[in-house]
Every structure is written in structure tokens, then in C-alpha cells.
């Protein structure tokens, strides 16, 4: 089963995915910006790369058509957004419905969009974290696959909090990808995600990740 990873920058979550020994094949890493560090890191791992530069297209529809053409050329079963900083249109999302995942740095539905860590601190929350979800036309509102939480510590600033959250992102995104590639994720008629086999609820080795694979 082929999968693709979409990036816009350094490729931190991309590296976590590529280094996780996932089933299937990393067919391509695509960036919407040329020259980003993630492209070099992907090539070092022997993965094909492509650049679909948004600035080269007159509008979003043309950009997304080129992006879809590249994805379909690699016959991918799963598309993973890993720091991909483009809001995708309804038509593109529908094309890959049920097979496109995103990682978001908050405990959705709290703090969708940008600047999540600063907003969490401003709100005074005691627990913050990250979420892997299926992509739907509504921004950061798709069915949740897995979440991880970290405590907000006294004296935290956005950078310190972001670092702890990112470490959890690198754990849960490969888990979600593995479940999908093994054919274990199911979107129920109620819009909730279910994962077949091996899920022990929230009481695993790290009780701040749910669900956890035993």
C-alpha cells in the first residue's frame, strides 16, 4: 500500500513517519514550497520527492489539480499532511475522503487553526496536546483518530510547550498511520473512528495517549 506525505517546511513529523517502519511504501513526499529542509531529509531516506509550488499557479483549483495528479501518479492509498500549511478545497478533500490524515497541535476541538500554543497559554488551560484526525472540508474538524496530552507547566512559553507537544506528535502520528495501513481504522456511520484489534483504551504505558496500542 503506497502512501504520500505533504509538507511545507522542516519535515519533523515526516521524519517520524518515515523512520517508524510503517507497513506499505512511502511513495512520495510533496512540498508546496521549494527548497525546504524536509525535501532533503526525505531524499536522504531514499524517498521520491516533488515540489508543487503554489506560487506557480494562478489559483487554488489549478494548484490542487496538479497536486492530485502527482498523488494519483504514485497510486497512493493514504495521504498524510505533516506541517502542510495549505487549506485544501472541498473538491480535493472529497477526492481523498477517508484516506487523508492530519496532525494538529492541540486537543481538538479546542484551538483549531494557528498559534495553538500561545492561545492555550492565554486561555489558562492545564492540559494541552495534539490530535490526529481525518481531513474533512471544515478546518481541523474531522473525525478524531488519536490524541495525546501534555501538562502545561508553570512558566511555560509557546516554544517550551510546543516542544513537549511535538514529542507526542512523533508518537501518535506513526501509530495512526500504522493502523490505517494495516486496514484497522474504520469510520462509523456516527462519524466516529474505530480501530480493530489491540486497543487497550487510555490505560496503556502512557495514560495521556488515547487510544493506546498495547
The sign of the torsion formed by the CA atoms of 186, 141, 166, 156 equals: negative
Query: Is residue 164 domain-shared with residue 136, that is, in the same domain?
Result: yes
On whether both 40 and 6 belong to a single domain, the answer is: yes
**Residue 70, SS3?**
helix
Other beta carbons within 10 angstroms of residue 93's beta carbon come to: 18
Q: Do residue 122 and residue 213 come from a single domain?
A: yes
Examine the domain organization and report whether 74 and 115 are in the same domain: no
Based on the fold, state whether residues 25 and 125 are members of the same structural domain.
no
Mark whether 61 and 160 lie in a shared domain.
no
Residues 113 and 184 placed together within one structural domain of the fold: yes
CA distance 133 to 100: 9
Cell 517550551 -> residue = 160
Using an 8 Å Cβ cutoff, are 26 and 104 in contact?
Answer: no
Q: If pLDDT is split at 50, 70 and 90, which confidence band does 188 have?
A: confident
For the chain, how many structural domains are there in total? 2
CATH number at residue 167: 3.40.50.170
Residues marked as catalytic: 104
pLDDT digits (tens, 9 = 90+) for 40-65: 999 999 999 999 999 999 999 999 99
| pTM for the whole structure | 0.93
| Domain boundaries, position 26 | 1-96
Confidence at 202, pLDDT banded by 50, 70, 90:
very low
Whether residues 109 and 53 share a domain: the answer is no
Amino acid at each position: 500500500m503506497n502512501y504520500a506525505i505533504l509538507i511545507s517546511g522542516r519535515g519533523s513529523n515526516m521524519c517520524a513517519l518515515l523512520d517508524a517502519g510503517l507497513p506499505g511504501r512511502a511513495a512520495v513526499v510533496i512540498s508546496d514550497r521549494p527548497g525546504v529542509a524536509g525535501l532533503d531529509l526525505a531524499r536522504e531516506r531514499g524517498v521520491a520527492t516533488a515540489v508543487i509550488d503554489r506560487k506557480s499557479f494562478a489559483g487554488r483549483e489549478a494548484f490542487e489539480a496538479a497536486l492530485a495528479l502527482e498523488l494519483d501518479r504514485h497510486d497512493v492509498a493514504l495521504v498524510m499532511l505533516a506541517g502542510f500549511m495549505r487549506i485544501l478545497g472541498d473538491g480535493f478533500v472529497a477526492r481523498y475522503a477517508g484516506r487523508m490524515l492530519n496532525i494538529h497541535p492541540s486537543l481538538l476541538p479546542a484551538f483549531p487553526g494557528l498559534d495553538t500554543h500561545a492561545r492555550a497559554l492565554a486561555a489558562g488551560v492545564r492540559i494541552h496536546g495534539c490530535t490526529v484526525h481525518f481531513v474533512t472540508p471544515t478546518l481541523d474538524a474531522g473525525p478524531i483518530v488519536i490524541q495525546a496530552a501534555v501538562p502545561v507547566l508553570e512558566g511555560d512559553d509557546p516554544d517550551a510547550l510546543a516542544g513537549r507537544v511535538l514529542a507526542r506528535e512523533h508518537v501518535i502520528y506513526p501509530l495512526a498511520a500504522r493502523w490505517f495501513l494495516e486496514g484497522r481504522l474504520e469510520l462509523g456511520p456516527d462519524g466516529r473512528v474505530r480501530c480493530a484489534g489491540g486497543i487497550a483504551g487510555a490505560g496503556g504505558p502512557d495514560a495521556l495517549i488515547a487510544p493506546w496500542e498495547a
